[in-house]
Amino acid sequence: MEFDKVLSERFSVREYKDIPVEEEKIQAILDAVRLAPTAKNSQPQKIYVAKTKEALEKVDLVTPNRFGAPVAMLICGDSEKACILKSNGRNFLEVDATIIQTYMMLKAGDLGLSTCWIGRYTNDKVYEVFNIPKNYIPYGILLVGYKSDSAVPSNMHLSRLEVEDFTVTL
């Protein structure tokens, strides 16, 4: 798909078709992660891919917002691999996880898939249900699948600032 079309047509989908996502598309999304920039190329990502019935039931235990997606990817950052600047102590783990997740969303759109970024969960519940190490910090759950025929963007999605409303020319 043309990049500008991916950008303009992508929206958070909250209703998915009950059909599986092809394994090669899941792998292509994960391959896009490898290309995402991270601070000092630290590559601190750890991604848990839920696609079986049992794994998706675990996702349902940590969030009420799976919306029937056939794939859910828990994006974590490994705090032991985080880039932390010595000069000011700035930690880039959350920034890296955000960039990675953005690459995943855009690649999914390029493949004709739809996504929704989920932040409605508690880390304690994620640690408990998925039994992940404490150094893996959860930053989001990315839902992936084919949107239902009735899925439409929310009204909030359609509200966009003009470029001059968020830029300052120096």
Predicted confidence at residue 1, as pLDDT, reads 60
Threshold 0.85, pTM exceeds: yes
Q: In whole angstroms, what is the distance from residue 29 CA to residue 104 CA?
A: 5
Q: How many structural domains does the chain have?
A: 1
Residue range 41-90, pLDDT digits in tens: 999 999 999 999 999 999 999 999 999 999 999 999 999 999 999 999 99
Output the pLDDT for position 158: 80
Domain housing 143? 3-166
Please say whether the beta carbons of 13 and 105 come within 8 A.
no
Q: Are 15 and 150 in contact (CB under 8 A)?
A: yes
Task: State the CATH number of the domain containing residue 98.
Answer: 3.40.109.10
